[in-house]
Structure 1
Amino acid sequence: MGGMGQLRIHILGGLTIQRRGYPVTGFNTRKAMALLVYFACTGRSHSRQTLAEMLWEDRSQAQSLTNLRGPLSRLRQTVGPYVTITREMAGINLASSWWLDAAEFERALSGAAQTTAQLETALELYRGDFLEGFFVDSQAFEEWTRIERERLHYLAIDALDTLITRHLGQGAYSAGITCASRLLQMDNLREETHRQLMELLALAGQREAALAQYETCRRLLNDELSVLPTPETTALYERIRSGQLIRDRSTGNEIVHRTDTVSSRPRHNLPVQTTPFVGREAELADLARLFADPTVRLVTILGPGGMGKTRLAIEAAAAQLDHFTHGVFFVPLAALPTPADIARALADAIGLQFEGGGPGSEHRNAQQQLLDYFRQKHQLLVMDNFEHLLEGADLLTAILQAAPGVRILATSRERLHLSSETVFTLGGMAFPGLDSPEDALHYDSVQLFLQSARRVRRDFDLCPGDLPSVSLIHHLVGGMPLGLRLAAGWVDQFSLEEIVQELS
């Protein structure tokens, strides 16, 4: 297999298939190429009947199965070692060496939080829309393509939006301009991005370009939607025109004078999520009530690993974006080796650059610089995975004492043991009883199981006879979201009864 080289499939910005740097040819039909793309994107094998019905839905089953033989034969001849084709099934050969740009793109955006480098790596892979310019005569395949295209398109937009916010907060105006310009090429009616680009241009000293950007925004909104820019956009235009939003050149450095409310939407760096949030409505409502109580300054979502603490914190924080003037910031702590690293992680998240030391000069320590930064801020900080840094929890107390407008939402497997702490204990999701499995589909935990199962088997569904096994799976994992997702990941290999046996 190693002598065959890696098969590289590019589907972002068109379709190209290469091996050892050269295009793979000889597919003859687009449907053969469509099958290879479908195999790689789904990462598993499919029944011949499913594939035939997808590509020839207007033909009889016998005719569609006959039609399928030609494209499968071409795949054997062109990329044989990279596919597995039997009399019943066909799919990608997971044991072979193959690479898919869309999978790498999503991998770079996965996890609780992404670094700037990860976001930039992902966006380098996103050369354009999914299978741009590639079509086949199949309604089912085109519908699948449309869904994937929209999903990946919005992931790229969210990644660009996150980078723009970071560049703006860190004073990296040139990089921010590049990202905002690219985002507007993808969605030129996104008024918020027009505002961000106006602000970036003005702060970079390009006042005339910033004013021209407003005119571009106004014209597009009028021509395409017959609406005027929002008051926030017009107010920003007036600040730029009057010189209120400029870079201070008096000291020859990059000090920026700007209000904290230039953008209508509060800044944030909340991680982009690649799957819909399921359930936990009661928990979200309870957290919202805690945020509404001004006496509650620090909330710790407490629970064992796998309960979904991080995901719940992100959803709860996202619901607070309009309530914190200076934004909501996610601070990942899991990778930090010592409590001494918390200050740096906080600074990275909010875009604060600590003053460096120098010969003959005195500089405030990192903690004091953080406290000075937060002192006049109205922000929400999400401190994720605090359990191994408990000795550094005093920093949170110092921030809350110095900055009355700052609130903190932490996640941890252990209490922080701070006097200001309000503990929010998180258990498993509610699940159906063994004596009433017919009610299973009404439970959010079962919907999470279904969502996760369909990520490995798109055609997965439950019939009435499956509900007792599904209920038993939920009991065996105690409604733990991670346990449900892991169990659901086995549906392409085992029956539900076999999964129950594995868990037992």
Structure 2
Amino acid sequence: MRNQQLRVRVLGGAELTMDGRPLVELASAKATALLFYLAVTGTAHSRSALAGLLWSDLPEPTARANLRLVLTKLRRVVPEQVAVSRQTIALADSRQVWVDVAEVSRVAAAHQDDDELLEAVRLCRGDFLEGFGVPGAPLFDDWLTERRAAVRADMLALMDRAVQRARDRRDAAGGIEVTRRLLQLERLHEEAHRALMWFLAVGGQRSAALAQYETCRYLLRREELGIEPAADTLALRDEIAVTRGFTALGVDPLASAARQDVALAAGPPPTDLPRPLTALVGRERELARLHELLDDPTCRLVTLVGPGGIGKTRLAVEVAAYRQGRRRDGTVFVSFVGTSPARPAEAADLVVAGLARALEIDLAVPREPLDLLAEQLAGRELLLVLDNLEHLRDSAGVLAELLRRAPGAQLLVTSRRPLGLGVEWLVEVPGLPYPPPGADADAAGYEAVQLFQERARLLRPNSLAIDGTAGAGRVCRLVAGVPLAIELAARWVRSATPAAIADRLASGLELLETTAPDVERRHRSLRSVIDWSWQLLTDEERRTLRRLSVLRRSFDLAAAGAVAGAGLPMLASLVDQSLIAVGEDGRYEMHELLRQYAAESLAADPAEEARTRWRHAEHHVALLPPPGEARTEGGPSLETEQENLRAATEWLILGADPITLDAHLVRLWAVYQRLGWFREAQAFFRAALERHVAPLHRARWHRMLGETHQQIGEANAARYHLERALDLLVGRGARAAAGAAGVLSTHLITPTPYAQGP
């Protein structure tokens, strides 16, 4: 490698040197970013494009003026390396500028094993521009994220070749160096751990090789995945433990992996398993359960079920990536996103065609496609990952037939509803755990907040410096721990604090969308994710969900029937489609984001919304006993129904006639007084007093409001409202008369009977 004047290092920590001297004169983060961008891309760019890249939040004239200032600084510090014209800006040719990532890409693209290979590996000190960020440059950050993934793939491919060459030459020292660098990038790369064990053993370091096995076992089992090392790793460990002549070790781990068509590097396998650009956060419990099931030879079919955006595909990919070496013929990933049968009967054909395409099976022969596919699978031992099967509900029969005729096949399916097969094991994927109200001090310990922090850190490293984790915890509560919603919300940290993001989220779903190219089109908006689930429903199911949206928190079967006309079969269908969930207490819940979506649909028909809210209010008002009477046993507790009672009361305050509202508030006050819910009662009475009603009703509401203040020791407020009640009944002058107390007892305690609601 040649010694050049300007040397640019972007792998690991960023570094700029001129003739061996660090360039500290740039100072400005955007000047440094511009120099890195020009060096890495290696081409000329227009002034407009560069101004937009680094100052996209400013008007173009201002952005171009800032660019001119930065260029002035660059031309002063590196005058011979910057080539500027009226239209474009570039760095000088490669004879004057050396870039480490360009060198790695060049060597990685070469197919021969040359002497430069190990030297290029030594340039791979870490991820692309690790720790480098530019405040206020979102487009540059987007480029950085995309480029980082591509560079990592180049580095892994380079190291793969270097390990293979060291193995072929039995170069223990070189192999140890390369595998250790590989593990710095991918510490959970089991094949790399196995290779390092082999090289250490061949090099005579038996104890170090056995210690490396324990390190691998610890990382896989305790820190990340909850699984044991693969059989090949265990076999190598046993061979090292009993062998004395290490140069005569038997089967090496790389040859074993090659026999199973598993690449040493963590690059895309021949089956095109997706490679996520970001790390998985949390999910230890679900990962452990999946590995437990897939390790069981009697378990042939596992279905991950959950609503859209909950992370089913991400979880399946994570599991599949670490199980590639556990089945003789590896793993095959087939996505059914975008497939849509014209008729239900075509669903089975789509599944057969998708599997055949992934397995490279030619269906052009004049035979039944299912028979041909089953015949090809019959002798294989592999894991089939079938993603997004919810819209192909009529394909279950085909999968059952394949399981029967291909005993070595195991299926891992993701779907928003179960397949309904008797051999199916279900693993429900919930939202990530998030902090409850009042737990903001401990919010950082919850997986949902950790995900928000991890994604926000990529875009704005100090995003949580202002309000700590409190704002992030509130965001996670509002979206109930849904990973996609958390990731979409975190993308706003460049322009708002987590607390401000939470404030916006409280008013609707519009914030949960992005146009970023690194996000799958179907996941760029949470609304589009819910749209897809909505389209799969029947008209009756959609109508039921619209009506259920007026229920808050949880609800029971009686409430579902009274409010939405939904019986047990309908609720069971919605549970199967991951649209509502049933708890251990038998009560149902709808995810808050879906509830908002369904409520918007209900509000589009004001007449239906009004009828549904009246049914909701009538059902929950009937749970309150008359004043002075005990509540009958058998129904849900009033504490359980507090949210629904609150919603019913708010609706009655807005739209009920004064007589109905008055009777309800009297019954409600009797219950709230017993339970000690005085603050909430105050809010209701104040809201009711905004209505224009008869003096008798206003007087009674003032009296009850005064009592709430009296109960919590607010004497002045209590006196004010009790005096207002007397004024409304007998006038200010007669307030002190001897009969005033009698007026209160006669007119303010006994409510008017309920009127018939609409």
TM-score (norm 2): 0.39
Cα deviation for residue 449 of structure 1 reads: 0.6
Alignment pair present for 1:453 and 2:456? yes
CA contact 1:438–1:464 (8 Å) conserved in 2: no
Q: In 1, are the aligned partners of 2:380 and 2:406 still within 8 Å (CA)?
A: yes
Cα 1:81–1:425 change in 2 (3 A) is farther
Alignment-derived partner of residue 14 in structure 2: none
Structure 1 position 349 matched with structure 2 position 349: no
Given that 1:381 and 1:408 are in contact with CA atoms closer than 8 Å, whether structure 2 keeps it comes out as yes
Task: Note the C-alpha offset of 1:469.
Answer: 1.6
1:498 maps to which residue? 500
Kept in 1, the 8 Å contact 2:333–2:387? The answer is yes
C-alpha separation in 2, matches of 1:269 and 1:229: 36
Higher relative contact order at CA 8 Å, sep ≥6: structure 1 or structure 2? 1
Hey, what's the Cα distance between the residues in 2 that align with 1:147 and 1:333?
27
CA shift digits 1:373-416 (9 cap, x unpaired): 11121111110000111112211111100011211010011221
Residue from 175, 190, 199 that aligns with 2:163: 190
1:389 lines up with 2:392 in the alignment: yes
Query: Which residue identity does 2:163 align to in structure 1?
Result: R
Structure 1 residues 37 and 310, CA gap change in structure 2 (3 angstroms): farther
- Which residue of structure 1 lines up, in the alignment, with residue 294 of structure 2? 291
Match of 2:317 in 1: 314
Tell me the SS of whatever aligns to 2:392: helix
Aligned partners of 2:174, 2:304: CA distance in 1, in Å?
48
| Residue 152 of structure 2 is aligned to residue 154 of structure 1 | yes
SS of the residue aligned with 2:468?
helix
Task: Confirm whether residue 405 of structure 1 aligns to residue 419 of structure 2.
Answer: no
Q: Tell me how far 1:151 sits from its aligned partner.
A: 5.2
Equivalence map 1:408-419=2 (5 Å): 408-419=411-422
One-letter code aligned to 2:153: L
Distance 2:328 2:259 in 1: 8
Residue 447 of structure 1 and its aligned partner are, at CA, apart by 1.5
Cα shift at 1:264: 8.7
Supply the distance in 1 between the matched residues of 2:254 and 2:489 (Cα, whole angstroms): 52
Matches of 1:276 and 1:222, distance apart in 2: 31
Distance 1:148 1:501, change over 3 A: closer
CA, structure 1 residues 371+67, in 2 after alignment: closer, same or farther (shift >3 Å)?
closer
| 1:71-470 → structure 2 map (5 Å cutoff) | 71=74, 144=132, 152-156=150-154, 183=157, 187-191=160-164, 217-218=168-169, 220=171, 225=176, 227=202, 231-232=250-251, 261=260, 268-338=271-341, 339=347, 340-350=349-359, 352-357=360-365, 363-457=366-460, 459-463=461-465, 465-470=467-472
Q: Identity percentage over the alignment?
A: 29
Aligned CA-pair RMSD: 4.8
SS of 1:325's equivalent in the other structure is: coil
- Residue aligned with 1:466, SS: coil
Aligned in 2, Cα 1:267/1:260: closer, same or farther, shift over 3 Å? Answer: farther
Q: 1:78 to 1:476 in 2, by over 3 A?
A: farther
Out of 34, 37, 40, which is 1:36 matched to?
Answer: 34
SS of equivalent residue, structure 1 residue 387: coil
Report the Cα offset of residue 439 of structure 1: 0.8
For these two proteins, the number of residue pairs brought into alignment is: 339
Which one is further off, 146-155 or 395-404? 146-155
How far residue 144 of structure 1 moved from its aligned partner, in angstroms, is: 4.0
Please report the TM-score for the alignment, with normalisation by the length of structure 1.
0.56
Give 1:481's aligned amino acid: P
Cα gap change, 1:409/1:72 in structure 2, threshold over 3 Å: closer, same or farther? farther
The one-letter code sitting in structure 1 at the alignment partner of 2:368 is: N
1:218 deviates by 2.1
Q: Matched residues in 1 for 2:391 and 2:361: separation?
A: 25
Does the aligned pair in 1 maintain the 2:281–2:450 contact within 8 Å? yes
Of the three residues 471, 475, 478, the one matched with 1:476 is 478
Question: 1:473: Cα distance to partner?
Answer: 0.6
Q: 2:475 is matched by which residue type in structure 1?
A: I
For residue 72 of structure 1, report the CA deviation from its aligned partner: 9.8
SS in 2 for 1:288: helix
State the Cα distance separating 1:329 from its structure 2 match: 1.1
Bigger drift between 380-389 and 329-338 goes to 329-338
- Tell me which moved more, 217-226 or 329-338: 217-226
Compare CA radii of gyration and give the structure with the larger one.
2
Which residue identity does 1:477 align to in structure 2?
Answer: V
- Code of the residue aligned with 1:346 in structure 2: it is L
Q: Structure 1 373/398 Cα, relative in aligned 2: closer, same or farther at 3 Å?
A: same
What CA distance in whole angstroms lies between the structure 2 residues aligned with 1:223 and 1:467?
Answer: 45
Residues 438, 67 of structure 1: alpha-carbon distance in 2 compared, 3 angstrom cutoff: same
Equivalent positions of 1:35-54 (< 5 A) are 35-36=33-34, 45=55
CA deviation after TM superposition for structure 1 residue 497, in Å: 2.3
Give the whole-Å Cα distance in 1 for the aligned partners of 2:503 and 2:87.
34
Deviations 1:133-191, CA, capped at 9 Å, x for gaps? xx9xxxx9787499998754332366xxxxxxxxxxxxxxxxxxxxxxxx4x6653233
Could you say what secondary structure the match of 2:162 adopts?
Answer: coil
* Aligned equivalents of 1:341, 1:155: Cα separation in 2: 32
> For residues 148 and 391 of structure 1, do their structure 2 counterparts lie closer, same or farther at Cα, with a shift above 3 Å needed?
closer
Which amino acid in structure 2 is aligned with residue 343 of structure 1? V
- Indicate how the Cα distance of structure 1 residues 232 and 343 shifts in structure 2: closer, same or farther if over 3 A, else same: farther
C-alpha displacement of 1:332: 0.5
The CA distance in 1 between the partners of 2:338 and 2:32, in whole Å, is 40
Which secondary structure does the structure 2 equivalent of 1:471 belong to?
helix
Residues 1:299 and 1:446: Cα distance change in structure 2 (over 3 Å): same
CA displacement 1:297-321 (0-9 Å, x = unmatched): 1111111101000001111222322
Structure 1: how far apart are the matches of 2:374 and 2:70? Answer: 69
Native 8 Å contact 1:232 1:263 kept in 2: no
- Determine the C-alpha separation between the residues in 2 that align with 1:331 and 1:490: 32
Give the counterpart letter for 1:403 in structure 2: A
8 Å contact from structure 1 (residues 287, 316) kept in 2? yes
Give the residue type in structure 2 aligned to 1:342. Answer: V
Name the aligned partner's letter for residue 473 of structure 1.
V
Aligned with 2:435: secondary structure? Answer: coil
CA distance in 2, matches of 1:187, 1:369: 36
Q: How far has the Cα of 1:465 moved from its partner?
A: 3.2
Asked if the contact 1:336/1:342 (under 8 Å) is kept, the reply is no
- C-alpha displacement at 1:348, in angstroms? 2.3
